[in-house]
């Protein structure tokens, strides 16, 4: 199970992993018809949402004359709205949407998501997949798609459809499995809000103001997923060079991951320190720790847990220096009896608290452990693998010290 610190890597893909979330965060467009709540097969839901999106743009006669050339579209990789991860399922979603746009709608030209094409393309396509329940293993999924006009920042089309989860693979892609920190921050939240924005309204400005970094992050992450770590590190460092890049947790996380994979211990520790500092400033950070099933002992493989002492040291140091107080709240996945999970969540919260106090004694008076069992699951699948790692966490909730 895993741990999160809301003030300030490695996949939790084994049963009993614990994620400790250190919670140290244009023109008027015709509105589409209300989305159907009927659950459709996955491919049928994609077809419905994609066709609706394109049809909305075709009705905008003042914006798009019949004689206009094909409209260029760039696609910012689609994500799971709850976990902020790219998964096998979200990758399939964006592939199917892109294929249908290109094969069924000759007015659309899907361009590679590159910096140069942000200036060339007319529209930016975003998409999310959202679980509609956390009480069942495979709940229905809402697919949301949006087209934003890059020149004006207006959402010109938005569509939704509900799909059945007929055996979809929700395993996170390698970057998201390895990440020491969940990356759901203000950048990701604004992406999700943009994708749900009704047509005719402005896209979330926080997202659009930082869109220039997204192509570099996409390319770097593709290299990381393909185990080309040197190329990934170079591109993550390039993305962090600008002001917007410095404000993106996902980029800092990529620098840490790539440095660690390359065996650059000093650079990796420095990068992790920046992640912790970012978390303190944003009051939101997640750090993963893998535990043995049903216990409070870290997984013994040094390839998995070897960096944990450094992580704990950096978290404790930064928390002590920032003079913060925290409620340490444990969480578990849905597997097993309620009473057992309630107890285990408290035990792991206490264990992490003890380790932090061992690094910085002043945290003894500033922290209090508790547990939620599985009552606040994010994923809720109960699969006890990489797909529901976010459910197995301990949150550090910043509170007043009075």
Q: Where are the domains of the chain?
A: 2-25+212-399, 39-173+185-195
* Structure-token match 């620098």, residue found: 255
How, if at all, do strands 141-149 and 123-131 pair? Answer: antiparallel
- 2-25+212-399: CATH number: 3.30.1330.60
**CA distance to 175, 194, 219, 237, 249, per residue, from 230 (Å):** 14, 33, 13, 11, 20
Question: Minimum mean pLDDT among 8-12, 219-223, 265-269, 323-327: which range?
Answer: 8-12
CB-based contact 21:6 (threshold 8 Å): yes
Q: What is the mean pLDDT of residues 11-30?
A: 40
CB-based contact 367:328 (threshold 8 Å): yes
Model pTM score: 0.84
Q: What is the mean pLDDT of residues 28-37?
A: 51
Give 187's contacts (C-beta < 8 A, 6+ positions apart): 206, 207, 210, 247, 248, 249, 250
pLDDT at 242: 52
How, if at all, do strands 141-149 and 154-163 pair? Answer: antiparallel
pLDDT band at 192 (very low <50, low <70, confident <90, very high): very high
Give the orientation angle of helix 214-225 with respect to helix 229-239, to 10 degrees. 160
Q: Nearest Cα to 314, choosing from 348, 345, 278? A: 278
Please give the residue that has the higher pLDDT: either 219 or 294. 219
Q: Provide the mean pLDDT of the chain.
A: 84
Q: What are the tokens at 149?
A: 């006009």
pLDDT at 295: 80
Q: Does 39-173+185-195 carry CATH code 3.40.50?
A: yes
Q: What is the mean pLDDT of residues 235-264?
A: 85
Which tens digits make up the pLDDT trace of 302-341?
888 899 899 999 989 999 999 888 888 888 888 889 999 9
DSSP-H helix ranges across 6-125: 42-58, 88-104, 115-120
Q: Nearest Cα to 32, choosing from 158, 195, 153, 196? A: 158
Q: What is the mean pLDDT of residues 70-81?
A: 93
């Amino acid at each position: 199970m895993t741990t999160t610190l809301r003030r300030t890597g490695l996949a939790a893909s084994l049963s009993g992993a614990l994620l400790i979330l250190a919670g140290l965060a244009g023109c008027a467009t015709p509105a589409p018809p209300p989305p159907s709540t009927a659950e459709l097969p996955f491919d049928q839901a994609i077809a419905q949402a994609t066709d609706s999106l394109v049809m909305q743009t075709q009705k905008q006669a003042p914006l798009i004359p019949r004689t206009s050339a094909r409209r260029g579209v760039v696609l910012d990789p689609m994500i799971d709205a709850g976990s902020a991860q790219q998964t096998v399922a979200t990758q399939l979603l964006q592939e199917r949407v892109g294929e249908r746009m290109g094969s069924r709608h000759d007015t659309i030209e899907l361009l590679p998501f590159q910096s140069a094409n942000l200036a060339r393309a007319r529209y930016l396509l975003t998409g999310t997949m959202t679980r509609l329940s956390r009480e069942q293993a495979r709940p229905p999924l809402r697919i949301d798609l949006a087209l934003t006009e890059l020149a004006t920042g207006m959402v010109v089309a938005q569509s939704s459809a509900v799909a059945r989860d007929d055996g979809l693979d929700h395993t996170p892609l390698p970057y998201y499995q390895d990440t020491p920190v969940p990356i759901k921050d203000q950048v990701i939240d604004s992406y999700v809000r943009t994708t749900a924005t009704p047509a005719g309204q402005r896209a979330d400005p926080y997202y659009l103001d930082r869109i220039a970094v997204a192509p570099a992050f996409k390319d770097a992450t593709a290299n990381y997923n393909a185990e080309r770590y040197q190329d990934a590190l170079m591109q993550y460092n390039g993305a962090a060079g600008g002001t917007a890049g410095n404000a993106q947790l996902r980029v800092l996380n990529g620098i840490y991951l790539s440095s660690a994979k390359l065996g650059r211990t000093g650079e990796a520790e420095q990068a992790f320190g920046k992640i912790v500092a970012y978390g303190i400033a944003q009051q939101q950070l997640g750090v993963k720790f893998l535990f043995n099933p049903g216990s409070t002992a870290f997984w013994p493989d040094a390839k998995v847990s070897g960096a944990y002492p450094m992580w704990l040291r950096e978290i404790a140091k930064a928390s002590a220096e920032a003079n913060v107080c925290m409620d340490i709240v444990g969480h578990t996945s849905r597997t097993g009896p309620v009473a057992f999970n309630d107890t285990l969540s408290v035990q792991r919260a206490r264990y992490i608290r003890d380790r932090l106090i061992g690094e910085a004694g002043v945290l003894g008076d500033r922290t209090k452990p508790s547990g939620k069992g599985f009552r606040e699951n994010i994923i809720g699948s109960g699969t006890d693998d990489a797909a529901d790692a976010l459910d197995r966490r301990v949150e550090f909730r910043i509170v007043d010290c009075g």
